[in-house]
Amino acid sequence: MSDKIHILVVDDEPDIRESFQEYLEINGYRASSADGAAEARRLVDEHDIDLALLDISMPGEDGLSLARYLREHTDLAIIMVASAGDVMDRVIGIEVGADDYLAKPVDLRELVARVAAVLRWKHAAPTTTSAPIDAHDGATIPFGQCRLDIESHRLLDGNGESISITEMDFQVLKLFAENPGRTLSRDQILQATRGRDWDPADRSVDIQMGRIRRKIEPDPKKPTIIKTVHSRGYVYSPTDDQE
């Protein structure tokens, strides 16, 4: 059995599948490919896949539906690949739990850089169990009634039960935990968690913050834990009773 990281490329366009697969293999990865969701599910069932590159716009079951399935049934990392103009598809991709996204046409060097970055975050996360952790343990960081367990990469509710988050969500929360009271720009968040600069047209940070707020805020529409600082970014504001 190969010890190489195994990447799955899912795209209905043969030229894209072949170029992605070839370039990934040149850069030391094991790569498999599928022309649609059905073949992708079979490969995921039969092999230990570490990361999936999913084209959003495929005939039949699209990449968003497949991403949702993979997020619910596996712990592999997911990068969505969307046409440059498909802003809404990218928004939904982040919403369903994709770790990152790429816009077509994809520069192959950027592809490998994004893959490497996402895998670093994924492999930094220890294997977790479903057993509750004491939500008031000193090794956890408060986010309202929730707590972030740094060691296990888990977000816990007030009863110590795990709340489903992606590894990317964890990295963002950890960044805020390390910078309480400090306003973090979108550029700083992207650089720290994804290793790339922010583009004004890139809404991925705002989308991700919306998803995180739905998990930690009593009222996500009126956030009090991670607040928006107009034209600057976001700030984590732990209250005295949280600390």
Q: CATH no. for residue 147?
A: 1.10.10.10
Is residue 95 domain-shared with residue 48, that is, in the same domain? Answer: yes
Domain that holds residue 175: 140-236
Is residue 15 domain-shared with residue 119, that is, in the same domain? Answer: yes
Confirm whether 129 is domain-assigned. Answer: no
- Tally of domains within the chain: 2
Which parts of the chain have pLDDT scores under 70? 1-2, 84-94, 123-138, 195-198, 200-201, 239-243
Is residue 64 domain-shared with residue 172, that is, in the same domain? Answer: no
pLDDT at 82: 84
Instruction: Write out the two tokens for 157.
Output: 């509710």
CB atoms < 10 A from the CB of 217, how many?
A: 19
Is residue 88 domain-shared with residue 153, that is, in the same domain? Answer: no
Confirm whether 243 is domain-assigned. Answer: no
Is residue 34 domain-shared with residue 100, that is, in the same domain? Answer: yes
Confirm whether 131 is domain-assigned. Answer: no
pLDDT tens digits, one per residue of 20-75 = 999 999 999 999 999 999 999 999 999 999 999 999 988 889 888 999 899 888 98
pLDDT at 196: 67
Distances (CA, A) of 170 to 60, 147, 149, 211: 32, 11, 9, 12
Tell me how far apart the alpha carbons of residues 149 and 162 are, in angstroms, rounded to a whole number: 10
